Amino acid sequence: MKVPMWHVEYTGTLLVLFMIGLFMIPTSFESTVMASNITKWKDVFKRLTYAQDVILKQEQSQILTSFNRAKTPEEREDIVIKIIKPYFRVSDKKVYKKYKVRYMNKKPVNSGDFYYIDDYYYAGKSLIVGIKNIPADAKGEDSFLMTFDINGRKRPNRWGIDIYGVNVYGDKVEAIGKNDTVEKQYEDCSKAGTGTSCSNYYLIGGNFDD
């Protein structure tokens, strides 16, 4: 029996729409997840800057005294953990060593890299905080690298996807990438880049590139 032409055309149209849907769903899902991650990161950064404002206004002398007395990077890191504890519910429990961090381009963050951190801490139900003391620069200013995995141990554990970071100074907090040009931030915040600059790029309105 001959199949009516309109049946053939109708079936073909449905198949085309189905195939388009298969391609669109993963992209749409990925974009939705990233939008959620970026929103969470903006909230974390807002809380971090608020915490610093409170500290500078109320406890600066005490904190500076504690830092001056600290003799090792580990002691200074412990002080910072205690400072942010009330704002992020940072636990004394460290994250299991199998937790591995990668750059946005999927390359591992290896020991010796600037962004490599020895110890990570659980903070609340779904946040992992990393902290690293950075030796004094030419001006004699100490700083800290802090990273935030906004969905905890849940993968992918990659910079620019679910991990973002800041540089913490005595009088300010700066998202990583802030001192780079927008063009350089955009280039780094890509599948071929490290993703570290996404920390600032998303704060200034940059979009996730599917």
* pLDDT bracket for residue 4 (50, 70, 90): low
Distance CA 53, CA 171 (A): 9
By DSSP bridging, strand 120-123 and strand 128-134 are: antiparallel
**pLDDT of 9 higher than 60:** no
* % pLDDT > 70, the chain: 74
pLDDT recorded at residue 58: 56
Q: What is the DSSP letter of 82?
A: H
Domain ranges of the chain: 56-201
Distance CA 102, CA 207 (A): 21
Tell me the average pLDDT across 159-169: 93
What pLDDT digit, counting tens, does each position of 70-94 carry? 778 778 777 777 777 777 788 877 8
Instruction: Look at residue 132 and give its three-state secondary structure.
Output: strand
What pLDDT digit, counting tens, does each position of 10-41 carry? 555 555 444 444 444 444 546 788 899 999 99
The per-residue pLDDT of the chain, averaged, comes to: 80
Tell me the average pLDDT across 126-155: 84
Q: What is the DSSP letter of 208?
A: P
Name every residue whose Cβ is closer than 8 Å to that of residue 94 and which is 6 or more positions away in sequence. 119, 120, 121, 122
pLDDT recorded at residue 25: 41
Amino acid in position 71? K
Q: How far is CA 28 from CA 31, 32, 161, 203, in A?
A: 5, 6, 15, 22
What pLDDT digit, counting tens, does each position of 174-197 carry? 999 999 999 999 999 999 999 999
Amino acid in position 204? I
**pLDDT of 6 higher than 50:** no
